[in-house]
Amino acid sequence: MKNFIIPPDDVPQEVQGKITHWSQWIDYWAVDWNYRDDTFHNEWQSYRSKQNPKIDLTVSHVYDNEGNYTVLIKVIDILGNDTTKVIHIAIK
């Protein structure tokens, strides 16, 4: 993950002032490595907890076979908003 932004109109001013890095907007994110335009299957995730407030910003995956894959990334921000991004990749 390289960047994540919440529209400033949605964020209380006191929260905006405490954010120093874009990753602080993210509470949780997950990846479905083989999304098939139906149900999201949470195959990997990173989330914050009180014991571990740091969140992973990178992940890798190895596919067993060549082919075209659709990856769905789901992000839950600190305000509880759900954002998804679809990425199409070709493995050769």
Per residue in 14-37, pLDDT (tens digit) is: 877 888 888 888 999 999 999 998
- Give the model's pLDDT for residue 69: 97
- Give the model's pLDDT for residue 4: 83
- Give the model's pLDDT for residue 34: 96
Amino acid present at 39:
T
- To the nearest whole percent, how much of the chain has pLDDT over 70? 99
Whether the predicted pLDDT of 41 surpasses 90: yes
Contacts of 19 (CB under 8 A, 6+ apart): 25
Specify the pTM: 0.85
53-67: pLDDT as tens digits: 899 999 999 999 999
Which among 17, 14, 35, 15 has a CA at the least distance from the CA of 80? 15
